[in-house]
Structure formats: structure tokens, C-alpha cells
Amino acid sequence: MKFTLMLKRFAFIALLAAVAVAGGALLPALAGAAQGTVRIDSAQAGAGQKADITLSARDVGTPGIGAWTIDVSYDPATVSVVECEAEHGGICNEAFAEDVVRVAGISLAGLMGDTDLAGISFRCEQAGVSLLGVSIDVLSDASLGEPQPIDASVLTGTLTCSEEPPPPTPTPVAPTPTVVAPTPTDAPAEPPASEPEKAPGDADCDEDVDSIDAAHVLQFEARLLAEIACPENADANHDGRVGPIDAAIILQTSAGLLG
């Protein structure tokens, strides 16, 4: 009898151990959204000199980044922005605000691992230290149809400007935003409610959903485009906001990836 009791206890303990192992194996699956880090590098330069600084995403897991809007802030009293080059077909607006550069983009394939998002060239206007802040406005993964937010941490940087004689002719270059004229349209701004729903994603109302619509949405997000011809179409995920997630969905649609 004692032996049977011991056997039962052993079986019970073995069962508990099996449940614990299974529970542990489930934990990573329950961890949720993809993670990663968005960081901006630090640099040093003399007053009047330029410094090229990289905005990047690090350690991003599957399915990768599908849409992003990231604001880089700086101290305009110490540094100015000379230019910004976005990677992966993204877009930069150096003059998004007096002290903010906006970088936005989309990727159908998803950006995984370590990848550069933009190269920003600053100029030191005087000696001092400018914090380079990173603010994630949108960062979603490359899931089809319903991109999920990526839980990313942020690493800020600094641009340290040392005391050095300025160049003989300091010519501060004012950032010149490219304003793309909105496509003219004869369509009424507010279609009657009874009218059948227009093609979701057709942001420019040319009766076609294509990558141009995605580009318009991105340009609008970066405020390089003042307005969108058909904003109700541009809000592809119907969340009341026109942004890079919509651009990603539009690109997915135009690529025939969605039904």
C-alpha cells in the first residue's frame, strides 16, 4: 500500500512539473507585441561645423517595423538642421517645427534587427550641448491588415558643440520644406451619407488605390502636403486619424496582399 501511495505522490509531482514547464513555454507566446529600441546617436562638433547623426531602430523582432512616425527634437539655440535623408523610402521634414525634425515611413516587408531610419545633419551654431530627443508618434509592425503597435524603448542622444572660431562667412541655411501641391479634385469635400462608400485607400480620389495614395498619406503625415483630397478614404483603418499605418495598409492593398 505504501508503495502505491508513493507512486501516486510521484505521479502528482510529475504532473505539477509538467504543468509548470508547459506554462513556462507559453510565456513567450503571451509576451505580446514586437519590441525594439529607437535611438539617436550622439556626436561632437565645433561651433560652425556640421555633425551627421543617425536615427535608427535596433533589435526589432518579427514581423518588423511596418510604419513609423518619429520626431527628433533639438535645441535650436545651439544647433540647426542642415538636412535630413530618410532611409527605406521614408520621408523627412526638417522644418516640422522650430525644434523638431519628423521622420515617417512605411515598409511592406518589415524592418527587422538593426536598421537606419534617417541621417540628420546638424550644424553647431554656438558652444553648448543640445539634447537630441526621440519621440515615437507611431511605431507599428508589418502585420497585414491590422498593424500592431511595437513596444519600443527610446535612447536619446546629445550633440556637444565645442568652442571654435566660426567660419569666415557663417551662412545659416534655412531648412526649405518641399510643399507638394495637393491634387486638385472636383469631388465634393463631404460626400452625401447616402452615397456608397468610396474606395478605402484612394487618398487622392483618382478611383485607383495604389502606391501614390500611400505616398500622399506619408507626405501629409510629415506635413509636406497641406491636405489630402479624400481624407475619408485615406483613413484606411478607420481610426479617425490619417497616418503611416494607413499608408502601410494602402500599400498592402495596392500590392494585392489584402483580400
Point out which residues bind Ca ion (CB under 5 A).
202, 204, 206, 208, 213, 235, 237, 239, 241, 246
Least separation in angstroms between CB 67 and Ca ion: 10
The three-state DSSP-derived secondary structure of 45-96 is EECCCEEEEEEEEEEEEEEEEEEEEEEEECCCCCEEEEEEEECCCCEEEEEE
* Residue 175, burial from CB neighbour count under 10 angstroms (0-12, 13-18, 19+): middle
Residues 6+ apart with CB under 8 A from 232: 191, 198
Q: Residue 187 Cβ, how far from Ca ion at the closest point, in Å? A: 12
Of 17 and 187, CB closest to Ca ion: 187
Cβ proximity to Ca ion: between 75 and 204 the closer is 204
Q: Is the CB of 47 or the CB of 228 nearer to Ca ion? A: 228
**Cβ-based nearer residue to Ca ion, 79 or 224:** 224
**Beta carbon nearer to Ca ion, 134 or 228:** 228
Interatomic CA distance for residues 6 and 11, integer angstroms:
9
Return the axis-axis angle of helices 211-221 and 244-254, rounded to nearest 10°. Answer: 170
Whether 108 contacts 245, CB under 8 Å: no
Residue 81: CB minimum distance to Ca ion, A: 28
CB of 242 to Ca ion, least distance (A): 6
How far CA 156 is from CA of 60, 85, 117, 226, 253, in Å, comes to: 17, 19, 15, 30, 35
Min dist. Cβ of residue 13 to Ca ion (A): 53
